[in-house]
Amino acid sequence: MDASELVPGEEYIYLGKDGRTGPLRFEGVREGGRIYVFDLPRPRVGQMMMGRPHVERAIRRIEQWRQTN
């Protein structure tokens, strides 16, 4: 998905090489749009930060992910 479509407060899923992680709540952008920050819920409490190419390759809306699986 295009990183410009991310909406703060909405939940997304991360589809990485190590499997899926989610839901992730999009928190916002840092460093002038270079870093995208997601909050991780329990049991993996914390934050996940990634650059735009990684976001566009590995982040999906939850509804979009459910339709393809």
Q: Residue 5 contacts by C-beta under 8 Å, 6 or more apart in sequence?
A: none
| Average pLDDT score over residue span 15-28 | 84
Q: What is the pLDDT of residues 23-69, one digit of tens each?
A: 899 999 998 888 999 998 777 778 889 999 989 999 998 877 676 66
User: In terms of pTM, does the model score above 0.85?
Assistant: no
Architecture of domain 3-68: Roll (2.30)
pLDDT value at residue 15: 86
Structure token digits, residue 3: 């990183």
**Cα(43)–Cα(38) distance, rounded to whole angstroms?**
15
- Under a CB-based contact definition with an 8 Å cutoff, are residues 30 and 37 in contact? yes
Domain ranges (residues) in the chain: 3-68
* Residue 20: predicted pLDDT: 75
3-state secondary structure (DSSP) of residue 9: coil
